[in-house]
Amino acid sequence: MFEGLKNKLRDVRSRFGASIEETLEESPVSPSPATPVADLTAQEPAPESTKDEIHPHEGVLEAASEKKPKSGFFTKVKTLVIEREFILTEKDLEDPLFELEMILLESDVALPVTDAIIAHMRTSLVGNHRKIRESPDEIVTLALKNALREVLGEGLDLPGFIRSHEKPVKILFTGVNGTGKTTSIAKVSDFLKKKGFSIVIGAGDTYRAGAIEQIRVHADRLGIRLIHHQEGADPSAVLFDAVEYARAHKVDVVLADTAGRFHNRANLMSQLEKIRRIFKPDLIFYVDEATAGNDAVVRAAEFEKTIGADGVMLTKVDMDKKGGSAISIAYTIGKPLVFLGVGQEYEDIVLFTPDLIINEILGEDA
Amino acid sequence: MLDSLSNSLKDAVKKLAGKAVVDRAAVDELVRDLQRALIQADVNVKLVMGLSQSIKKRALEEELPKGMGVRDHVLRIVYQELVSLMGPEAEVSLKPQTILMAGLQGSGKTTTTAKLCRYFQRKGLKVGAICCDNFRPGAFTQLQTLCQRINVPIYGDPKEKDALRIVKNGLTALRDVEVIIVDTAGRHALEDDLIEEIMQINAIVKPSHRWLVIDAALGQAARDQARRFHEAIGIDGVVITKMDGTAKGGGALSAVAETNSSIVFIGSGETIDDLERFEPNGFISRMLGMGDLKALVERAEDVMEGGDLDVNAMLKGKFTLKDMYKQLEALNKMGPLKQVLSMLPLGGMNVPNEVYDVTSVKMERYRIMMDSMTDDEMDDPSLLGTSRIHRIAMGSGSSVDDVRELIKYYKMMQRALKGFKGGGRFSMNRMMKQFGGGDKLV
């Protein structure tokens, strides 16, 4: 997973490195000697260009494919004596940063999130000339790593959480239609069962045709008790019964399915609120798909606002190797990713840890 | 966030207004905002870059047509380029045919299959469905439940492991129906065995159409996924689902561009009637944050089976309380208010979410108040003076303020509709009102 992002980031990182080294190489050519005064004035161009927050997007295709013309850069260095030497100015970063922006966008990182990451990269890179001199590659990697770590969060140790809390631990699954809530519940059940927990599932999707049948088949296959009413029943009542069952039978975990709903439907969202009130979940998992684009941000924010979320489960990661929506969602609601769904089988589920992903994307060898 | 985006697009358009020559800086700004809008709508990044290049080139190089303002000129180019991206308008023939549904897991194939059954059934055709999704538990039950509600025969066998055999048997079982819709299991481009399976299904069914179902929220992946499906079975139409959420459906646009097909239908709600024919006008408007009247008209005609609401009279600006009464009644039939409002010419306005929650209750109250009015008052609301308002309030058990509010609402609707009169299929004038002046309606 995350292969696409990984490969592309590798490219851009070498470009960053190249751009920085270019600056280093060419600086001695500049006619005027370095003085402490020049150092001060050299800071000036940076704030000047920060007001140009949005890059000139047009002409991107050329900009992205063509290498920076060396001679142009050369003359620029010569004429703008003030801007010369080691300091990495906004201008030097413009091309690589723009390229990074495109890569993030193409990897389905939502526009506002991309903007934030680019801004983070810019502030942490511009002006740091001494460190750059030591090792350009390292500082770029570090900046990217920090940006991603900041966004991805720390993960959540679910088995640990369950052990340290009063039983039954109640987990509610929410999300929009078709993201894979029901399948995810089956996978999480399987995962927890293998860790030695006892589980009961509440069939809270009483709306979609065939939903109860779907979860029933999963529960049968996994040998897990399912509490369900018939189609059209009140989901809160079903889940209440599931909790009662868990109490009576000393079950460790209650997993509650809910019907998919769009965040812009007030009545469905208030139904979910009622479910939360009655079910009193210890954890709310927001389920969304890796393939979602910019809307991932909109709906994650809306779910977080109305119902809240304690963790994110990202599904269909096998479908989209780029994994950008993981970054979007985590950034938007600031809650840890807990699981990744990576296939159609029950065991196709991965417990998320930030280092795993960051190292996978950036590669520890670098 | 999205609103601020479409506002900045509006501002960029405003800057073009009143200019005699095309201003490079203004065009640059417009193109940049357009890029951001399209990327945020999930259109493929490469596609957006290519598109904006050609828009910019044309805007700067093409000669300004006589009598056309810069703003109209540029917007016309934007519109034309976007439309050309969408390919030709798809024909849906009402002849006997077989349609194969393909798509990713959870994109809404089964729901769409049932909606399509309903669509063709309403057009007077004998319809049947085959469910060859024997992988996902409950898939057969789901389609069966949906089809039973509308009395459409369905063939499927959840116990049969071989999808190909289900299809063969299904085709035999349903040989009497005119339109057969084949629902398949969800699969994605990287599952080679499943892609192989759908190729075999395609070979057996020899469908008249192979439609790709795309979730409106699908992002950049749309392009690669569509390519793989296209290579495998030759996609000739795209159905966008879940357009009732906040997603803009740009992924579908990437898919269409990749497969050289066109968008056929749009799924926009959870009930079986929530399927619209695709209309490039409306889609673009929605993507860029403008109202779309045409889809509303079509939908109104379809749902109300004629006669209830004289949309044309409304468009001519002759809009009385009687029309509004009918409109409120019609709204009930037409489904979620937000969806209808997004198609109304109020599209450019920022309606706070609370409005939608209150409104359905309020609509009912409005209707009761109007029941207390005389025919004359309904025809000519200007008659309503203080004493008449008092009478109406007493008669309907509401307060004077409530009645005044109703009148205010009526006036707002009237003004909105007036703004829309004139202009044919695609009026620049109309588009501009949405772009530029929509906000003052609030």
- Which of B105, B287, B358 is best to mutate for the A interface (most A CBs within 10 A)? B105
- Percent of chain A at pLDDT > 90 equals 40
Number of other residues whose CB lies within 10 A of the CB of residue B307: 8
Band of the pLDDT at A118, cuts 50, 70, 90?
Answer: confident
Q: What are residue A349's DSSP bridge partners?
A: A341
Q: Do A107 and B220 touch (CB under 8 A)?
A: yes
B36 touches chain A (CB under 8 A): yes
Q: Are residues A268 and A138 in the same domain?
A: no
Inform me whether the pLDDT recorded for A284 exceeds 90. yes
* Cα–Cα distance for residue pair B253/B44, rounded to 1 Å: 8
CA neighbor of A262 nearest in space, from B339, B352, B349: B339
Complete DSSP assignment for B115-160: HHHHHHHHTT--EEEEE---SSTTHHHHHHHHHHHTT--EEE-TT-
What residue spans in chain B does CATH classification 1.10.260.30 cover?
Answer: 293-429
Is A166 inside any structural domain?
yes
What's the whole-number average pLDDT of chain B? 79
Domain final residue, candidates A149, A171, A205: A149
What's the whole-number average pLDDT of chain A? 77
Q: Are residues A183 and A140 in the same domain?
A: no
Domain final residue, candidates A149, A176, A202: A149
More confident residue, A213 or B65: A213
The per-residue pLDDT for A54 is: 39
Q: How far is the CA of B349 from the CAs of A293, B290, B341, B415, in angstroms?
A: 25, 9, 10, 13
Q: Are residues A206 and A342 in the same domain?
A: yes
Q: Are residues A198 and A246 in the same domain?
A: yes
Task: Evaluate the CA torsion angle B172, B177, B179, B184 in order and state its sign.
Answer: negative
Residue B241, marked binder:
yes
* Cα–Cα distance for residue pair B22/B56, rounded to 1 Å: 11
Instruction: Please name the residues between 219 and 258 in chain B that touch chain A, using a CB distance below 8 Å.
Output: 219-221, 225, 241-242, 244-248, 250-251
- Which of B28, B270, B339, B340 is best to mutate for the A interface (most A CBs within 10 A)? B270
Amino acid at B190: L
| CATH number where A130 lies | 1.20.120.140
Which range (A42-46, A312-316, A350-354) has the least confidence?
Answer: A42-46
Residues in chain B with CB shorter than 8 Å from the CB of A322 are 220-221
Distance from CA of A99 to the nearest CA of B (A): 12
Q: Report pTM.
A: 0.71
* Cα–Cα distance for residue pair A107/A94, rounded to 1 Å: 20
- Which of B194, B220, B227 is best to mutate for the A interface (most A CBs within 10 A)? B220
Band of the pLDDT at A127, cuts 50, 70, 90?
Answer: low
A167 touches chain B (CB under 8 A): no
The H or E element that residue A61 is part of is: helix A60-65
A107 touches chain B (CB under 8 A): yes
Q: Are the C-beta atoms of A154 and A265 separated by less than 8 Å?
A: no
Q: Do B1 and A298 touch (CB under 8 A)?
A: yes
Instruction: Please name the residues between 84 and 113 in chain B that touch chain A, using a CB distance below 8 Å.
Output: 104-108, 110
Band of the pLDDT at A31, cuts 50, 70, 90?
Answer: very low
Total domains, chain A? 2
The token pair at B45 is 């990044």
Exposed, middle or buried, B208 (CB in 10 Å: 0-12/13-18/19+)?
middle
Give the position of tokens 């063939």: B155
Which residue of chain B is at minimal alpha-carbon distance from A322? B221
The token pair at A160 is 């640990």
Q: Are residues A209 and A275 in the same domain?
A: yes
Inform me whether the pLDDT recorded for A85 exceeds 70. no
CATH T-level topology, domain B293-429:
434 Repressor (Amino-terminal Domain) (1.10.260)
> By residue range, what is the domain housing residue A104?
3-30+84-149
Inform me whether the pLDDT recorded for A216 exceeds 60. yes
pLDDT tens series, chain B, 442 aa: 344 555 666 666 667 666 667 778 888 888 888 888 888 889 999 999 999 999 999 988 888 766 566 766 777 788 778 878 887 777 888 999 999 999 999 999 999 999 999 999 999 999 999 999 989 999 999 999 999 999 999 999 988 989 999 999 999 999 999 999 999 999 998 899 999 999 999 999 999 999 999 999 999 989 999 999 999 999 999 999 998 888 888 899 899 999 999 999 999 888 999 998 887 777 877 777 654 434 444 444 454 444 444 555 555 556 777 777 776 666 655 554 555 555 554 434 445 555 555 566 777 788 888 888 988 888 888 888 899 999 999 998 989 998 988 888 888 777 766 655 443 333 334 444 444 433 333 3
Angle (CA) B180 B183 B189, round 5°:
135
Q: Do B105 and A316 touch (CB under 8 A)?
A: yes
The per-residue pLDDT for B203 is: 95
Q: Are residues A121 and A236 in the same domain?
A: no
Which residue of chain B is at minimal alpha-carbon distance from A295? B247
3-state secondary structure labels for all residues of A281-304: CCEEEEEEECCECCHHHHHHHHHH
A231 touches chain B (CB under 8 A): yes
Residues in chain A with CB shorter than 8 Å from the CB of B40 are 110-111, 294
Distance from CA of A187 to the nearest CA of B (A): 14
Mean pLDDT, residues A143-159 taken together: 78
Distance from CA of B139 to the nearest CA of A (A): 6
Q: Are residues A234 and A256 in the same domain?
A: yes
Q: Which of A85-89, A155-159, B116-120 has the highest mean pLDDT?
A: B116-120
Q: Do A292 and B141 touch (CB under 8 A)?
A: no
Domain final residue, candidates A149, A178, A195: A149
Inform me whether the pLDDT recorded for A165 exceeds 90. yes
Q: Do A296 and B219 touch (CB under 8 A)?
A: yes
Q: Do A210 and B244 touch (CB under 8 A)?
A: no
Q: What are residue B241's DSSP bridge partners?
A: B215
Q: Do B50 and A320 touch (CB under 8 A)?
A: no
The token pair at B374 is 């005389």
Q: Which of A54, A108, A176 sits opposite B221 (nearest CB)?
A: A108
Q: Residue ranges of the alpha helices (H) in B41-108?
A: 45-61, 70-86
The per-residue pLDDT for B337 is: 52
Q: How many CB pairs under 8 A join A and B?
A: 180
Cβ-proximal residues to A355 (8 Å cutoff; 6+ apart), any chain = none
Q: Do B39 and A180 touch (CB under 8 A)?
A: no
* Cα–Cα distance for residue pair B168/B150, rounded to 1 Å: 24
Distance from CA of A57 to the nearest CA of B (A): 6
* Sheet arrangement for strand B237-241: B154-156, B127-131, B179-183, B97-103, B209-215, B237-241, B263-267, B275-277
Q: Which of B40, B188, B357 sits opposite A319 (nearest CB)?
A: B188
Cβ-proximal residues to A48 (8 Å cutoff; 6+ apart), any chain = none
The per-residue pLDDT for A154 is: 74
The per-residue pLDDT for A42 is: 39
CATH T-level topology, domain B3-85:
Four Helix Bundle (Hemerythrin (Met), subunit A) (1.20.120)
Q: Do B106 and A208 touch (CB under 8 A)?
A: no
Number of other residues whose CB lies within 10 A of the CB of residue B308: 15
CATH code of the region B97-278: 3.40.50.300
Q: How far is the CA of A16 from the CAs of A136, A144, B100, in angstroms?
A: 8, 11, 48
Distance from CA of B11 to the nearest CA of A (A): 16
The token pair at B417 is 């509709």
* Sheet arrangement for strand A283-289: A225-227, A199-202, A253-256, A169-174, A283-289, A311-315, A337-341, A349-351
Mean pLDDT, residues A252-258 taken together: 96
* Cα–Cα distance for residue pair B76/B22, rounded to 1 Å: 14
The H or E element that residue B179 is part of is: strand B179-183
A101 touches chain B (CB under 8 A): no
ipTM of the complex: 0.74
Q: How far is the CA of B243 from the CAs of B218, B265, B351, in angstroms?
A: 11, 11, 18
Q: Do A264 and B139 touch (CB under 8 A)?
A: no
Q: Do B221 and A180 touch (CB under 8 A)?
A: no
Q: Are residues A108 and A235 in the same domain?
A: no
Inform me whether the pLDDT recorded for A74 exceeds 70. no
More confident residue, B435 or A15: A15
Give the position of tokens 């600086």: A27
Cβ-proximal residues to B122 (8 Å cutoff; 6+ apart), any chain = none
Is A334 inside any structural domain?
yes
Give the position of tokens 């969304």: A288
What residue spans in chain B does CATH classification 1.20.120.140 cover?
Answer: 3-85
Q: Do A296 and B146 touch (CB under 8 A)?
A: no
Q: Do B218 and A212 touch (CB under 8 A)?
A: no
Q: Which of A140-144, A189-193, B27-31, B61-65 has the highest mean pLDDT?
A: A189-193
State residue B393 phi and psi, 5-degree precision.
-60, -45
Q: Do A262 and B244 touch (CB under 8 A)?
A: yes
Q: How far is the CA of B103 from the CAs of A178, B111, B186, B228, in angstroms?
A: 12, 12, 6, 11
Angle between helices B353-371 and B400-418 (to 10 degrees): 110
pLDDT digits (tens, 9 = 90+) for A230-252: 999 999 999 999 999 999 999 99
Cβ-proximal residues to B151 (8 Å cutoff; 6+ apart), any chain = none
Q: Are residues A345 and A295 in the same domain?
A: yes
Is A71 inside any structural domain?
no
B121 touches chain A (CB under 8 A): no
Is A112 inside any structural domain?
yes
The per-residue pLDDT for A192 is: 96
What b-and-e string marks burial along A249-258, b requiring 16 or more CB atoms within 10 Å of the CB? eebbbbbbbb
Q: Are residues A229 and A336 in the same domain?
A: yes
Q: Do A210 and B1 touch (CB under 8 A)?
A: no
Is A55 inside any structural domain?
no
| CATH number where A278 lies | 3.40.50.300
Which residue of chain B is at minimal alpha-carbon distance from A176? B245
